Structure 1
Amino acid sequence: MGIRFRNLTLGLTLLLVLLCGAHPARVQGAGIDLAGTLREGEAAGVHPATLNRLLALGYEHAFDPAQVEKLLRVLIATQKEGFPPQPFVSKIEEGIAKGVAPARIVQVLEKKLDDYRFSRSLIASRPEGRESQGTRVSMEYHVRLAELLNAGLTMEDLRQLSGSAPTAPLPVLIRSAELLASLKQVRFNDGLAAQIVSSGLQRNYFTAEQADFGRILSTARSKGTPDEEITAAALAVIQSNAPASRLSSLLSVTAADLGARGPQVGGSRAGTGVGAPGSGHGPGGPSGAGHGGPGGSAGGGGGGGGGGGGGGGGGGGGGGGGGGGGGGGGGGGGR
């Protein structure tokens, strides 16, 4: 373990020398202390593999040290506030791969951090949030709620949902929000979508057992079933507390129709926890905020392997299944 950690530290030092050596005038002229920022990141708890990866990306793409420092600052703030850094690292990698300017990537990261702060405040206002602050389960909820703000929902949407059912279990609230996001993605009638979500939320219907509910709705709509007919069937199933299979029957959605599991919000989650750092050059596997929701937002991915030449990063603990359905196309790195 000690040897591996020393290797990571040596790698950081080498990358720092290469990066600053490529832009000596800019480093001195701007008074940038990139080494000091790295030390601050390590002291805050950012894993050396994550710092290593970010320096490598900066060097490979000829970023100014000042640009790298701004990216590091966001990661440090993320770590200090107790949020998982991996979704932010993934967003950096996505933006770089798409040629997004570093300044724009920083703006996206700052917006993402604000989303996470909002999700934390919303959860803290509910009984479960007050009882489970700082736990891993609670962090999964932070991630899922925050990523919905990149999947078509607004902060006001989430406030209204939370306020309409203050005693609903937090997992049910999140699945309800995921279902609303999936219906927005397929341009379902707003008023009818609100009826379905409100009815299910008030009855605590959207449990893990109803994971296919939203996908059935989206599939029925893709087959040309009118929104009014879909809504009538959904409300009947919710009010009778029938299983999602009953909804499939009413809407003539077969198992074959559901066979191709595309991107979805709120589907079964095998790895929605926080990815651990990799054991080598790259950071850990994607957290539960991995790609999977509509609009290319993070939402349902399992924990993935470590980046670069590093070891595998562990996926986090599983969450409950959701009620959301299929989502749309990929989102950009510069949201």
Structure 2
Amino acid sequence: MQKVSKLKTLLAVVTILLPLLCVSSQITLAKADTNNILVIHQYSSENQCQNLFDQGLRERLVQDEKHVYKFSFEYLEMDRYPEDDNYVIHTANYFRHKKEHSNWIPDVIVTSGGVSDWLLPYKEELFGDIPIVATAPSYNRSSSDQIDSFTEHYLLAGQDNFSKNYSLILDILPDTKKIYVVVGNSAEEKSLLDLARAEADQFRDKADIVFTNQMSYAEMISTMKTAESDSVILFSRWLKDIEGNSFVPAEVLSAITDGAEVPVFGTQHQYLGLGIIGGYLYDISLLGKDAAILVMQVLNRSRTSDFSNLDRYNRYIFDNRALVNWDIDLELLPKSGTIEFVEDDF
């Protein structure tokens, strides 16, 4: 009988508290404004760099107590239709149709790197007065007339740091005689190539640094598979080869790490887990978080922050599995570095 009495008391308490909890939740939701966020990316949805940007954007916005966010994502897929003016026109028509017929109106538009280059001529017609938070192309380290004309709310993205990766490789693998820098032949990659070459000058007396931009995909893969035993591969990206063929960088990297018999490093965080040891990696999820801060500031009509410290987006990060596989001495890693994929000991 005592157990029955306790159960009745518990049910009575639950009956009283449950409606109160529901009311409390409804009040909380009522206090938060709902805002629609349209995110536009330059490349196709398989691009892991963009997915990391979205991850950082969402993680930061979910912490906002003043607003509830609903997202819609669009992908220009310029990696699949490079240098096709007709495709750009059809894409603009697609956005024009959605604007005229959709009942979902964005409160803020977020564009990742490169989108402003393609949509600037159509900006007023397609988006009107809707505020835009944009990131400049990753190879631009200063503002340009184009991004300034596209929006007043923009961030300058970070980029690959080749100098620190050359230095890292030679510090932890001092017997290295050659570094293959994997970079393709697209317009974006050509800008990166200039940077990679300039930063290689101070290391020429320590190792031969070879760039793959003039190779076809097949030639590049063959070169990586037959790389000398005292060489190392540094993967930046491979969007387009010398023959004009387009590729998904993560898929290219997986093909390299599957076949190469020498260590592979990378320059971007999304490559971690695909076989690279690690490196001084550009983490675009941090850029996504900064974009989220800018979105909140725009919605709150508060003063926007200055995100001019581009080095904040790069960190030393390593894959423990690759470190073990290549027998890397952990004492040689930078003290500020972090190691991921560490298995727990039981």
Structure 2 length as normaliser, TM-score?
0.27
* Greater percentage in helix: 1
Structure number with greater Rg is: 2
Structure 1 length as normaliser, TM-score?
0.27
